[in-house]
Structure 1
Amino acid sequence: MVAADIIRKTNGEELAVSGMLERLTAMLHHADAFISLPGGFGILEEIFIMASLAQLHIHEKPISLLNVNKFYNGLLSFLDHAQKNYYIPPSIRKIFISASNPHELIDQLQAFNYEPDPLTSKID
């Protein structure tokens, strides 16, 4: 994206990476939280990789979804269904937060507190 001049000036730190694996590694090590805007397969891949890493106790960071025009409602319903049927531990479902506007999402991120599951937190 840098070579194609797609990336514009940002307010924060800018990291140029060589590929998706390096991008995910940088996200994991540099981010305090993950914020997902509406998107396609790339965003979904990042969301679920970070959720899988949380389930493996590699991080305890929130995954936030900016749910513009209810874009993520179907995904949130799926996560609720999967957790209800014991495919996703409650602690992993709780790291997913969503809001329809950026201000509310930031408020939720600031209030976020990871709560490990008593059973899965003992699994290494």
Structure 2
Amino acid sequence: MFEVKNYVESDFKSLFNIHRNAFRSYSKKESLDDFKKSIENTVGKVLVLQNEIIGAIFLEAKDIEGEFKVKKLFITPKYQNKGLGYFILTHLKEEDEDEAIKSIELEISEENLKTKKFCEKMLKEI
């Protein structure tokens, strides 16, 4: 069964490697420092299966309280196209007992057709 846990610093290297593999053929190589900077000041959740990290989501708070933007969302290639991106997004809303999350914004990437299709689908469903 899948679990969603809070991101902790010790997850960083595993997540960096998963991110690189998830987007290997679509984007320029992001350095370790670039990746680290991109998740600073975000809220991170890690997707775990049988004690193995298989993906993550990082949200950035926007200027309006309760509004967040997806900064990073990635799943290891072995588990892509199995509904896990949808799972982690909906899990955030379901587990938000304080109802702190009013909205989650997805940015559609025009350069990556797979990501574009995912974002368009999620915008209709969440």
- TM-score, normalization by structure 1: 0.35
Q: Report the structure, 1 or 2, having the larger strand content.
A: 2
- TM-score, normalization by structure 2: 0.35
Tell me which structure has the larger Cα radius of gyration.
1
Q: Report the structure, 1 or 2, having the larger helix content.
A: 1
